[in-house]
Chain A
Amino acid sequence: MSAAGAQVAPLPTTASLVRIAPRTRWLSLDLREAWNYRELLYFFVWRDIKVRYKQTVIGASWAILQPFLTMVVFTLFFGHLAKISSQGLPYPIFYLCALLPWTYFATALQNASTIVVDQQQVITKVYFPRIVLPFSAVTSPLVDFFIAFVMLGGMMIYYRVVPTIAIFWLPAFLLLAILTALGVGLWLSALNALYRDVRYVVPFLVNFWLFASPVAYSSAIVPERWRWLYGLNPMAGVIEGFRWSLTGHGQPPGPLLAASTGAVLLVTFGGLIYYHAMEGTIADVV
Chain B
Amino acid sequence: MCQIAIRVRGIGKRYCIGERLQYGGLRHRLEGALRAPFRLLRNGNGNKSKTSRQEIWALRNVSFEVSSGEVVGLIGRNGAGKSTLLKILSRVTHPTKGSAEIFGRVGSLLEVGTGFHPELTGRENVFLNGAVLGMGKKEIARKFDEIVAFAEVEDFVDTPLKHYSTGMMMRLAFAVAAHIEPEILLVDEVLAVGDIAFQKKCLGKMSDVVNEGRTIIFVSHNAAAVTRLCARCILIDRGELLKDGPTYDVMNIYLRSGLATTSLREWAPEGAPGDEVVRLRAVRARSTDGESAEAFDIRRPVAVDVIFDVLQSGTVLTPNLHFFNEEGVNVFITHDIDPTWRGRPRPAGRYVSTVWIPGNFLAEGTFVVGAAITTMAPVNVRLYEREAIAFQVVDSTDGDSARGDYAGHLPGVVRPLLEWETTYDSHPGSEQFPYTAAAQGGQRQ
**Chain A positions near chain B (C-beta within 8 angstroms):** 1, 3-4, 6, 11-12, 14-23, 39-40, 42-43, 46-47, 50-51, 54-55, 121-128, 194-197, 280-281, 283-285
Q: In the complex the two chains form, is B89's CB within 8 Å of A15's CB?
A: no
**Cβ proximity bits B253-280 to A, threshold 8 Å, 1 near / 0 not:** 0000000000000000000000000000
Q: In the complex the two chains form, is A39's CB within 8 Å of B136's CB?
A: yes
Q: In the complex the two chains form, is B131's CB within 8 Å of A39's CB?
A: yes
Indicate the member of B88, B92, B110, B136 with the most A CB atoms within 10 Å. Answer: B92
A197 to B26: give the CA distance in the assembly, Å.
8
Q: In the complex the two chains form, is A126's CB within 8 Å of B110's CB?
A: yes
Q: Return chain A residues, CB-CB under 8 Å to B227.
A: none
A1 to B11: give the CA distance in the assembly, Å.
12
Q: Would you call B434 an interface residue if the criterion is a C-beta within 8 Å of the partner chain's C-beta atoms?
A: no
Q: In the complex the two chains form, is A39's CB within 8 Å of B137's CB?
A: yes
Q: In the complex the two chains form, is A51's CB within 8 Å of B9's CB?
A: no
**Cβ proximity bits B235-246 to A, threshold 8 Å, 1 near / 0 not:** 000000000000
Q: In the complex the two chains form, is B91's CB within 8 Å of A20's CB?
A: yes
Q: Would you call B76 an interface residue if the criterion is a C-beta within 8 Å of the partner chain's C-beta atoms?
A: no
Q: How far is the CB of B397 from chain A (nearest CB, A)?
A: 21
Q: In the complex the two chains form, is B94's CB within 8 Å of A22's CB?
A: yes
Q: In the complex the two chains form, is B97's CB within 8 Å of A1's CB?
A: yes
Of the listed stretches B113-121, B313-321, B409-417, name the one at the interface; the rest are far from the partner chain. B113-121
Q: Which one, B23, B114, B128, B136, contacts A285 given CB within 8 A?
A: B23
The residues in B between 140 and 171 inclusive whose CB is less than 8 angstroms from any CB of A are 160
The residues in B between 376 and 417 inclusive whose CB is less than 8 angstroms from any CB of A are none
Given contacts A40-B132, A195-B24, 7 further A-B contacts (CB under 8 A): A47-B128, A121-B115, A125-B110, A128-B134, A194-B23, A195-B29, A281-B94
Q: Give the contact-size bracket for chain B.
A: 35 or more
Q: Return chain B residues, CB-CB under 8 Å to A194.
A: 23, 29
| Top-7 shortest CB links A-B | A127-B91, A43-B131, A280-B94, A21-B99, A20-B100, A18-B102, A14-B103
Q: Which one, A4, A22, A40, A126, contacts B92 given CB within 8 A?
A: A126
Q: A20-B95, A280-B93 are in contact. Are A47 and B103 (CB under 8 A)?
A: no
Q: Return chain B residues, CB-CB under 8 Å to A197.
A: 24, 26
Q: In the complex the two chains form, is B15's CB within 8 Å of A125's CB?
A: no
A126 to B100: give the CA distance in the assembly, Å.
18
The residues in B between 52 and 104 inclusive whose CB is less than 8 angstroms from any CB of A are 87-104
Q: Return chain A residues, CB-CB under 8 Å to B100.
A: 19-21
Q: A50-B124, A195-B23 are in contact. Are A15 and B111 (CB under 8 A)?
A: no
Q: How far is the CB of A258 from chain B (nearest CB, A)?
A: 33
A12, closest chain B residue (CB) = B3
Instruction: Enumerate 29 A-B pairs (CB-CB under 8 Å) in ascending A order.
Output: A1-B97, A4-B99, A6-B9, A11-B101, A11-B103, A12-B3, A18-B102, A20-B88, A22-B97, A23-B94, A39-B136, A42-B131, A43-B127, A47-B128, A51-B119, A122-B114, A125-B92, A126-B92, A126-B114, A126-B133, A126-B134, A127-B90, A127-B92, A194-B23, A197-B26, A281-B94, A283-B92, A283-B93, A285-B19
Q: Return chain A residues, CB-CB under 8 Å to B98.
A: 3, 21-22
Q: In the complex the two chains form, is A128's CB within 8 Å of B132's CB?
A: yes
Q: Which one, A42, A125, A281, A283, contacts B114 given CB within 8 A?
A: A125
Q: Return chain B residues, CB-CB under 8 Å to A195.
A: 23-24, 26, 29
A196, closest chain B residue (CB) = B24
Q: Return chain B residues, CB-CB under 8 Å to A6.
A: 9, 99
Q: In the complex the two chains form, is A281's CB within 8 Å of B93's CB?
A: yes
Q: In the complex the two chains form, is A54's CB within 8 Å of B119's CB?
A: yes
A195 to B26: give the CA distance in the assembly, Å.
7
A56 to B78: give the CA distance in the assembly, Å.
44
Q: A6-B99, A122-B132 are in contact. Are A55 and B87 (CB under 8 A)?
A: no
Q: Which one, A3, A46, A196, A280, contacts B97 given CB within 8 A?
A: A3
Q: Would you call B310 an interface residue if the criterion is a C-beta within 8 Å of the partner chain's C-beta atoms?
A: no
Q: Return chain B residues, CB-CB under 8 Å to A11.
A: 4, 101, 103
Q: Would you call B48 an interface residue if the criterion is a C-beta within 8 Å of the partner chain's C-beta atoms?
A: no
Q: A16-B103, A16-B105, A125-B111 are in contact. Are A21 and B95 (CB under 8 A)?
A: yes
A14, closest chain B residue (CB) = B103
A175 to B3: give the CA distance in the assembly, Å.
48
Q: Return chain A residues, CB-CB under 8 Å to B24.
A: 195-197
A151 to B425: give the CA distance in the assembly, Å.
55
Q: Which one, A15, A23, A280, contacts B104 given CB within 8 A?
A: A15
